[in-house]
Structure 1
Amino acid sequence: MADMSVDLVAVERRLWSGRASFVSAQTTEGQIGIMPGHEPLLGQLVEGGIVTIVDTEGTRIVAAVHGGFFSVTADTVRVLAETAEFSSEVDVAAARQVLSDGSASAKAQLAAQGRVRAVDAAAS
């Protein structure tokens, strides 16, 4: 089975590094899926987006990402986010509270939306 080297890195920490068969990310141009052998590209991640990685064992890793970019070559994907957290780390109640708080900033609202989407994506 073909695979590629994938790194998911935020400013404050490396979240995941390993071999994967598929990566999906939300970009400013839309949703993109990357498989081994993909054409090289550079993309900008959306604020409040999610990244999904399917490792070589078939395990889905889902993370909420907030800004940043990713680069793709034929055998590597590097996701460099401003901030990121695994769906399993998300405090869903706190994220939903931000979404219901009309006084929260637009950036906080987008980050909360991404967190909730990551949890939902991991559950499906």
Structure 2
Amino acid sequence: MNTFMLEIVTPDHLVYAKQVYSLTVRGAEGDLGILPGHVPLVTPLQVAPMTIKSDAGVTTVAVHGGFIEVHKDKVTVLAESAELPSDIDLERAEAAKERAQRRLQVRGKQDEIDHRRAELALQRAVTRIKVSTSKGQQ
């Protein structure tokens, strides 16, 4: 079976670098499946779980924005932040989700920037929770 090199990079460190069979990400236009030999492209990523299939099985990674760059035999994800399930503190993610939901409930008292920040915080928390609770399915 054909593979391609996948690298997930954040400003802090290299999160993941392995040969993989496929990758599913949420781009600006919706979900995007990448297989070996995919047409080259660059597109922004949304805050969403990313699914990787490799010899190690299926791995889910919490990706918080950034870009994906696809070449013939290599895919690079330049993420604002990315976390493997083992790196996620589920209690902390649940607390962040609750804080964001409370901030969104007092919408009339805050400006548009605060509202958008709360929405993004909620998306990041929900993504972390999804990835963390998928640990057993790997």
**TM-based fold match above 0.5:** yes
For 1:85 and 1:32, the matched residues in 2 are separated by 19
Q: What do you get for the CA RMSD once the two structures are aligned?
A: 1.6
Structure 1: gaps (5+ residues): none
2:83 to 82, 85, 88: 85
Matches within 5 A, 1:28-39: 28-39=28-39
From the CA coordinates, give the structure whose radius of gyration is larger. Answer: 2
CA distance in structure 1 between the aligned counterparts of 2:28 and 2:133, rounded to whole angstroms? 21
Equivalent residue runs for 1:11-50 within 5 Å: 11-47=11-47, 49-50=48-49
Normalized per residue, the structure richer in strand is: 1
Q: For residue 85 of structure 2, what is the amino acid of its counterpart?
A: S
Q: 1:116 aligns with which of 123, 126, 129?
A: 129
Question: Of 89, 94, 106, which aligns to 2:119?
Answer: 106
In structure 2, give the amino acid aligned to 1:44.
Answer: P
Is 1:9 aligned to 2:9, yes or no? yes
What is aligned with 2:51? 52
How many pairs align?
122
Offset of 1:23 from its aligned partner? 0.9
Preserved CA contact (<8 Å) 1:60 1:122: no
- Matched residue SS, 1:45: strand
| Larger helix percent | 2
The amino acid across from 2:38 in the alignment is H
Displacement, 1:58?
4.1
- TM-score, normalised to structure 2, is 0.80
- CA shift, 1:120, in A, is 3.5
Give, as a single letter, the amino acid of the residue that structure 1 aligns with 2:63.
Answer: V
TM-score, structure 1 as length reference = 0.88
The residue matched to 2:2 in structure 1 has which SS?
coil
Does residue 95 in structure 1 map to residue 108 in structure 2? no
Large movers: runs of 4+ above 4 Å: none
- Per-residue deviation, 1:119: 2.1
Distance in 2 between the 1:9 and 1:120 partners? 23
